[in-house]
Amino acid sequence: MSDSRTTPVTCSLLQVEAARVVFQTASNRDGIVAVNDVSLNLDRGRTLGLVGSSGCGKTSLARAIMHLVPLTSGRIRLMGTDLSSLSRSELRTRRRQFQMVFQDPGGSLNARMRVVDLVSEPLLVHGLARGAELNARATACLGRVGIPEEAVNRYPHQFSGGQRQRIAIARAIITEPALLVCDEPTSALDVSVQTQVLELLRKLQREGNLGMLFITHDMGVVRQMCDDVMVMDGGKVIESGPVAQVLDAPAHAVTRALIEAALAGTGR
Ligand SMILES: Nc1ncnc2c1ncn2[C@@H]1O[C@H](COP(=O)(O)OP(=O)(O)OP(=O)(O)O)[C@@H](O)[C@H]1O
Ligand SMILES: [Mg+2]
């Protein structure tokens, strides 16, 4: 019989239980069910791919995990804590532990700020550094993502799309989060740049022992990036498991169609 006093309490990094997200709209009296009874577990050091066709609910689930849209029902725990039980200031403090990278880096970067200030801002907000240390840490972090020191005083529009996404990634990792949610981080980039940004994310994931939720349409990217994969359709998870298992023996027609699209090189 196990002794509960001596058994170490282990909990996964992210636990989603029966999450449901319903958007209320004027045109639809019942609302739009974007996420319907989704459960998942993600541990540190693992990458979980989230795939499915457009409108299946991937971003809505990611935004619910990030606490950017409310759950209609269900529960989300980060390191054992239900974030909805926290006060606003406690949640603000916790935000350094879970960060998101969006599809369009332009949208997440304030055009009027120098990149060194953009990247140091989260440190300032969370009280993790100040003064000269702010600039030094932001410059070092930008170096990790491949932005050279002589470029850190420039503004976002002075960089390419791939470089802007690197800057957005630096801003997401500078607080050393445990969880990184990436919502189609390379879909807006040229193919050659996509590969470099994916390699960068893999490197950072390993170095930071990050738990990563990686949203994509592209099963080729899933094979390259993920340990496990979850396929969504109409707000529900229709198939999930280790990448090799799901990709080599897909059980569902939607999964097969996504694999065929990747093989055909369209990724969609
Ligand atoms: N703020 C919102 N208000 C109302 N409906 C929304 C809202 N956000 C998303 N939806 C709807 O929820 C459903 C899921 O959308 P979501 O953006 O999560 O899909 P997705 O899988 O990320 O799609 P894509 O691959 O195109 O990014 C869609 O029917 C969408 O129209
Ligand atoms: Mg989306």
| Contact 83 CB / ligand 1 (< 6 Å) | no
The pLDDT of residue 104 is 84
33 lines ligand 1 (CB under 6 A): no
Tokens 């090189």, located at residue: 265
Residue 102 burial (C-beta neighbours within 10 Å; 0-12, 13-18, 19+): buried
How remote is the CA of residue 120 from the centroid of ligand 1, in Å? Answer: 31
CA of 5 to the centre of ligand 2 (A): 44
Domain around 127: 105-177
Q: Compute the distance between CA of residue 195 and CA of residue 172 in angstroms, rounded to an integer.
A: 19
Amino acid of residue 140: A
Choosing from 27, 32, 219, 230 the residue with most ligand 1 atoms within 8 A of its CB, the one to mutate for a pocket test is 32
- Nearest atom in ligand 1 to the alpha carbon of residue 232 is 21
Can you tell me which residue has the tokens 């630096």?
170
Contact yes or no for 65/14 (Cβ under 8 A): yes
DSSP 86: S
Strands (E), 143-221: 179-183, 211-215
Angle between helices 161-173 and 115-125 (to 10 degrees): 20
Which two tokens mark 129? 């550094």
Q: What's the gap in Å between 35 CA and the centre of ligand 1?
A: 9
Cβ distance 170 to 147 under 8 Å? yes
Q: Which single residue is written with the structure tokens 């409310």?
A: 70
258 in any annotated domain? no
CB 216 within 8 A of CB 35: no
Domain count, the chain: 1
Does ligand 1 lie within 6 Å of residue 63's CB atom?
no
**Closest alpha carbon to 61 in 81, 76, 82:** 76
Residue 131 included in any domain: yes
Going by alpha carbons, the residue nearest to atom 9 of ligand 1 is 60
Q: Is 43 a member of any domain?
A: no
Would you say the CB of residue 23 lies under 6 angstroms from ligand 1? Answer: yes
Residue 191 lies inside a defined structural domain of this protein = no
Residue 25 in any domain: the answer is no
pLDDT of amino acid 4:
44
In a domain, 244, yes or no: no
Write down the pLDDT at residue 265: 74
One-letter amino acid of 91: L
| Residue 48 Cα to ligand 1 middle (Å) | 20
The pLDDT of residue 266: 56
Query: From ligand 2's centre to the CA of 94, what distance in Å?
Result: 24
Q: Is there a domain that residue 95 lies in? A: no
The reply to whether 4 falls in a domain is no
Pairing mode, strands 98-101 and 179-183: parallel
50 CB near ligand 1 (under 6 Å):
no
Q: What's the 73 CA to ligand 1 centre distance in angstroms?
A: 17
Q: What is the pLDDT along the chain (268 residues), one digit of tens a residue?
A: 444 445 455 568 999 999 999 999 888 888 999 999 999 999 999 999 999 999 999 999 999 999 999 999 999 999 999 988 889 899 988 999 999 999 887 777 999 999 999 999 999 999 999 999 999 999 999 999 999 999 999 999 999 999 999 999 999 999 999 999 999 999 888 888 999 999 999 999 999 999 999 999 899 999 999 999 999 999 999 999 999 999 999 999 999 999 999 888 754 4
